[in-house]
């Protein structure tokens, strides 16, 4: 009799575990549509990352969580989309760190010149303690950061000469974005920086109003600057990255299982996107060479000379940031710069 009672109890427990609402798996995944907006065209590596992320989220959620891509600023400018995330009317976006500086000033350290020399160093910097500390500041402004995707290095082109040594910057009239750090950096390098809107740049290069400009390789190719520029120098003077953001209002509605799906999908999509992005940059270089541009690398020794030249400028601007971020920036850039 006692044995029969125990058997009934065990059967009851098994039934309860199988009951709706008590499972720890599928019942914690709801049907959701996630709007993911960005400013790039659908042939850009950022778009490739969004597509991979969408594929992974769908697979891991059994098709219940669907990510819809909205490229080419369909949902507004980066700042407008960020506001949409804060208000809970848009779920995700991938802005460049530069567009977050108005919300969290400390993100400006990512765009300091000559902090890193190559992709290995760059990925280690943003995936390490500095990148994590910056992500931790996002919830206070209504955002969740999953991590960073690759946008690429900025490199210089001009119509005068190759830039292979510190001295080669001297006297070059270069269009730059109207950013105080950029302006002072190029002044320190003894170039002649000229703030100018991007829409005016091709004509300015063609008429030699400016000697050159600086942008990622893919931007140089897609805007046909090879038609009006002779020299292409891999200065890698600024690294640019995109932050993958989620609306905190949306994130807080997700179950732990759903949040894990998003995090795991992000990591896999990040590695894929970075691979695609680096390959796209290399392909752009090959195409620019084929179009007639004269290409040159910059030696590690010359990059270090340039880094030392702009160091006082970096220290000057760094002093206005959160002391904890200042300390991390110094220690982390030293760590990654020691990487070969």
Residue whose pair of structure tokens reads 């190759």 in the numeric block = 162
Q: Is the pLDDT of residue 80 over 70?
A: yes
User: Looking at residue 206, what is its pLDDT?
Assistant: 98
Higher pLDDT, 322 or 98: 322
pLDDT digits (tens, 9 = 90+) for 122-173: 999 999 999 999 999 999 999 999 999 999 999 999 999 999 999 999 999 9
Domains identified in the chain and CATH numbers: 29-337 (3.40.190.170)
In this predicted structure, the answer to whether residue 178 has a pLDDT above a threshold of 80 is yes
Q: Which residues pair with 239 in a beta bridge?
A: 153
Average pLDDT over residues 19-39: 75
* pLDDT over 90, % of the chain: 86
Contacts of residue 100, Cβ cutoff 8 Å, sequence gap at least 6: 82, 107, 243
pLDDT digits (tens, 9 = 90+) for 249-283: 999 999 999 999 999 999 999 999 999 999 999 99
> Residue 42 pLDDT > 70, yes or no?
yes
| Chain CA centroid to CA 103, Å | 16
270 within 8 A of 49, measured Cβ to Cβ: yes
- Alpha helices, DSSP H only, in 193-338? 201-206, 217-222, 248-251, 256-290, 300-318, 323-337
Residues 312-337, mean pLDDT to the nearest whole number? 96
- Mean pLDDT throughout 12-30? 53
Q: What is the dihedral of CA 95, 101, 106, 110, to 10 degrees?
A: 50
Residue 323 pLDDT > 90, yes or no?
yes
**What is the pLDDT, as a whole number, of residue 113?**
95
CB atoms within 10 A of CB 248: 18
Q: Could you tell me the pLDDT band of residue 177, with boundaries at 50, 70 and 90?
A: confident
Is the pLDDT at 16 greater than 80? The verdict is: no
Tell me which DSSP letter residue 294 carries.
E
Give the model's confidence band at 25: pLDDT under 50 very low, under 70 low, under 90 confident, else very high.
Answer: low
Please report which confidence band the pLDDT of residue 13 belongs to, taking 50, 70 and 90 as the band edges. Answer: very low
Closest CA to 174 of 207, 212, 200, 204: 212
Mean pLDDT of 207-212: 98
Q: What is the pLDDT of residue 6?
A: 42
The pLDDT of residue 222 is: 86
Mean pLDDT (whole number) for 20-33: 69
User: Are 40 and 73 contacting, i.e. CB atoms less than 8 angstroms apart?
Assistant: no
Q: What is the mean predicted confidence (pLDDT) over 197-215?
A: 95
CA distance 97 to 106: 10
Q: pLDDT band at residue 179, thresholds of 50, 70 and 90?
A: confident
For residue 114 the two structure tokens come to 């000559």
**Which run of H or of E encompasses 134?**
helix 129-135
């Amino acid at each position: 009799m006692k044995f029969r009672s125990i058997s009934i109890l065990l059967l009851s427990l098994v039934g309860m575990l199988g009951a709706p609402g008590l499972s720890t798996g599928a019942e914690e995944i709801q049907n959701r549509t996630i709007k993911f907006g960005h400013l790039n065209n659908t042939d850009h590596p950022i778009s490739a990352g969004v597509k991979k992320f969408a594929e992974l989220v769908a697979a891991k959620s059994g098709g219940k969580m669907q990510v819809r891509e909205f490229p080419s600023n369909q949902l507004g400018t980066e700042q407008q989309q960020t506001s949409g995330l804060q208000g809970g009317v848009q779920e995700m976006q991938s802005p460049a760190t530069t567009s977050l500086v108005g919300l969290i000033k400390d993100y400006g350290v990512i765009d300091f010149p000559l902090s890193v020399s190559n992709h290995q160093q760059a990925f280690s910097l943003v995936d390490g303690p500095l990148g994590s500390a910056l992500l931790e500041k996002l919830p206070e402004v209504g955002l969740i950061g999953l991590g960073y995707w690759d946008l690429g290095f900025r490199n210089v082109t001009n119509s005068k000469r190759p830039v292979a040594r510190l001295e080669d910057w001297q006297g070059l009239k270069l269009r730059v974005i109207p950013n105080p750090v950029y302006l002072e950096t190029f002044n320190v390098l003894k170039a002649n920086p000229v703030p100018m809107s991007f829409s005016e740049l091709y004509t300015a290069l063609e008429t030699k109003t400016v000697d050159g400009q600086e942008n990622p390789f893919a931007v140089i190719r897609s805007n046909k600057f090879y038609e009006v520029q002779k020299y292409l120098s891999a200065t890698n003077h600024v690294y640019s990255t995109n932050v993958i953001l989620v609306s905190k209002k949306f994130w807080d509605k997700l179950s732990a299982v759903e949040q894990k799906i998003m995090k795991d999908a992000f990591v896999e999509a990040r590695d894929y996107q970075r691979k695609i992005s680096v390959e796209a940059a290399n392909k752009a270089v090959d195409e620019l060479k084929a179009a007639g541009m004269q290409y040159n690398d910059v030696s590690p020794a010359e990059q270090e000379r340039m880094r030392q030249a702009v160091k006082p400028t970096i220290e000057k601007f760094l002093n206005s940031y959160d002391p904890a971020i200042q300390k991390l920036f110094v220690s982390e850039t030293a760590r990654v710069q020691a990487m070969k």
